Structure 1
Amino acid sequence: MLKRPMPVMQLRMAAASLLVLALGAACGGDESAVVASTSNGNGPVVAHPAEEDGSGASAQIEGPLSMSSGCLLVGGYPVVWPYGTTWDADAQAVRLSDGQVVALGDRVSGGGGYPHLPDLGTEFAEPLTDCPTNEYEEVAMFNAGDQITVTK
């Protein structure tokens, strides 16, 4: 079976993500700000450590929120949420930075991309390593500063 080649946009996004992470580390950035169930008790949410100014990737991420093996999935992809997203343990739901609550089964959509898990920095890849993936090992990564639309 032939493997799909990595699109140029995904290569650019992966390179930009690595550059941002490297600059953050060089400038004394706190890489532990990336939230994951194994790092700071924020449940299954993995989110960008800081809001970005740029628009980011131009793919549309869309699908229902589900959970499998303790991992949050959007449309069947492990997901990296925008900056400020947290886990609401009482509601067992995702709380977006604008206050919206995303329950399991709700549909979400927003801008982002689908980078390959091995191309992500360890801050993102490590918490998602044991999550179910598709045959291309892609992750749904919302842009760090974008708003997400929620449909109940």
Structure 2
Amino acid sequence: MEAEVRGTVEMRGECLVLVQEDAPGAPAYPVIWPAGTVWQEDPPAVVLEGGDVVELGTAVLGGGGYLQRDHIEEGVGSAVADAADRCTGETGEIAFFNRGSDVQVS
């Protein structure tokens, strides 16, 4: 998919999401990161395959898209799709970065 995924990384409850705007009620999407990404417990952060650390409150940008759960499941399997689906908001969409996407951290 050739769309652009962007947002600020936040925790909302038990959900790691990308928030589109810095405003109350702004759209937030659960996110599926590229393969090789891991979670760091302390301090809470996403560590990308190349070693970049994405702490909460950090803006990210990369190639990917926003799809409904059923379309996500085709690419990542039901367990990942189910986990992301539990965190979807009003749109029901899940953000995902393409495999091998160079996620830019700012």
Q: TM-score, normalised by structure 2?
A: 0.82
DSSP-derived class of the 1:114 partner: strand
Q: Cα deviation per residue 1:55-108 (whole Å; 9 max; x = unaligned)?
A: xx1111011000112111012100000010000112211000010000110000
Aligned to 1:129: 85
What's the CA shift for 1:127? 1.3
Aligned to 1:66: 10
Aligned to 1:23: none
State the aligned residue count.
Answer: 94
User: In 1, are the aligned partners of 2:69 and 2:94 still within 8 Å (CA)?
Assistant: yes
Q: Does 1:88 align with 2:40?
A: yes
Separation in 2, partners of 1:128, 1:140: 9
Aligned to 1:33: none
* Residues 6-45 of structure 1 aligned to structure 2 (within 5 Å): none
Q: Percent same amino acid among aligned pairs?
A: 40
DSSP-derived class of the 1:115 partner: strand
Aligned to 1:139: 94
Separation in 2, partners of 1:119, 1:144: 15
Separation in 1, partners of 2:11, 2:33: 14
Q: TM-score, normalised by structure 1?
A: 0.58
User: In 1, are the aligned partners of 2:85 and 2:94 still within 8 Å (CA)?
Assistant: no
Larger helix share, 1 or 2? 1
Separation in 2, partners of 1:68, 1:114: 19
Counterpart of 1:103 (choices 52, 55, 63) is: 55
What's the CA shift for 1:120? 2.5
Runs of 4+ in 1 over 3 A off after TM superposition: none
Of structures 1 and 2, the one scoring higher in RCO (CA 8 A, sep 6+) is: 2
